[in-house]
């Protein structure tokens, strides 16, 4: 049996770096968001699937993301965690 080491990343531990990186990208208009946003405190996992079926699949590969919400529009913006903090080990 393989020895799989699981990485645990706590939002509270990277929040400051995450907010700083987001602010820098927003300031340089690299995220193309036309409004002020609020960060949702927590991670979102977008599951990946190699086939479409009528069943619900739990587990498997996923893309860890962060979510921002537009203060005026309520629009939700998703960004891959590695795109915002490339140095993070996932």
The mean pLDDT value for 9-31 works out to 94
How much is the pTM?
Answer: 0.80
The mean pLDDT value for 54-67 works out to 85
Task: State the residue for tokens 């993301």.
Answer: 65
Q: Which residues contact 44 (CB under 8 A, 6 or more apart)?
A: 64, 65, 66, 67, 78
Report yes or no on 37 lying in a domain.
yes
Total domains in the chain come to 1
Tokens encoding 57: 């699949």
The mean pLDDT value for 41-51 works out to 89
Range of the domain at 19: 11-48+59-84
Report yes or no on 15 lying in a domain.
yes
Report yes or no on 3 lying in a domain.
no
Report yes or no on 24 lying in a domain.
yes
Report yes or no on 2 lying in a domain.
no
Indicate whether 1 pLDDT > 70.
no
Report yes or no on 38 lying in a domain.
yes
Report yes or no on 90 lying in a domain.
no
Indicate whether 30 pLDDT > 60.
yes
Report yes or no on 36 lying in a domain.
yes
């Amino acid at each position: 049996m393989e020895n799989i080491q699981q990485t645990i990343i706590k939002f509270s531990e990277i929040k400051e770096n995450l907010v700083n990186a987001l602010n820098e990208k927003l300031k340089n208009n690299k995220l193309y968001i036309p409004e002020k946003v609020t960060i949702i405190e927590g991670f979102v996992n977008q599951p990946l699937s190699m086939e479409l079926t009528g069943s619900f699949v739990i587990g498997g590969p996923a893309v860890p993301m962060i979510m921002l919400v537009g203060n005026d529009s309520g629009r939700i913006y998703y960004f891959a965690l590695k795109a915002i903090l490339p140095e993070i080990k996932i």
